[in-house]
């Protein structure tokens, strides 16, 4: 495929799957060194569909479906609710400290402890970091999944 034919695919994949950044420091949106990354699983799924069908009308990835299931489960547990997700969508970001490590006992606090819940959502790729350290939804696929929950 030549560059001209590939450009619409690249543009579509950028909107749908790009935008992840996980380092806690050194993030500069204007730098070509610290570019956000794509979710490779979703990119390969998209390319596979494109190769077999010749187009991708509406991406339907199993990873996105799992994101919806995870978000609904968390929102039903306790303190963390759909209102937290509404705040995230409306303000486009949320401030929270991310725990570098947590164990099984802390996972039992998902939905009840905001810090653990936001941290898990980062580690699952549902959220990512902004340059200021706040959390945001990384791309259009995840944004649509978060919107389904609210």
Looking at residue 59, what is its pLDDT?
63
What is the helix, strand, coil percentage profile of the chain, to 5? Answer: 50, 5, 40
CA dist 106 and 113 (Å) reads 9
What pTM, to 2 d.p., does this model score?
0.71
Contacts of 121 (CB under 8 A, 6+ apart): 70, 71, 74, 127, 135
DSSP 25: S
Which domain does 113 fall in, by range?
Answer: 3-149
Torsions phi, psi for 46 (to 5 deg):
-60, -50
* Average confidence (pLDDT) per 10 residues, the chain, 150 residues: 86 83 64 72 80 74 63 71 80 88 84 86 85 85 75
Please check whether residue 106 is in contact with residue 113, taking contact to mean a CB–CB distance below 8 angstroms: yes
Task: Specify the number of domains making up the chain.
Answer: 1
pLDDT of residue 64: 54
Q: Are 37 and 21 in contact (CB under 8 A)?
A: yes
3-state class of 105 per DSSP? helix
Give residue 26's pLDDT.
Answer: 59
């Amino acid at each position: 495929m030549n560059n001209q034919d590939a450009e619409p695919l690249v543009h579509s994949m950028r909107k749908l799957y790009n935008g992840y950044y996980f380092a806690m420091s050194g993030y500069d949106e204007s730098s070509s060194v610290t570019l956000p990354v794509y979710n490779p699983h979703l990119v390969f799924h998209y390319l596979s569909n494109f190769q077999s069908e010749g187009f991708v009308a509406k991406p339907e990835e199993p990873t996105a479906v799992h994101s919806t299931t995870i978000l609904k489960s968390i929102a039903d547990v306790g303190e963390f609710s759909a209102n937290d997700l509404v705040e995230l969508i409306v303000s486009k970001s949320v401030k929270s400290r991310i725990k570098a490590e947590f164990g099984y006992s802390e996972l039992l606090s998902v939905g009840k402890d905001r810090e653990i819940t936001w941290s898990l959502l980062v580690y699952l790729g549902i959220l990512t970091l902004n340059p200021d350290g706040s959390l945001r939804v990384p791309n259009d696929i995840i944004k649509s999944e978060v919107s389904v929950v609210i």
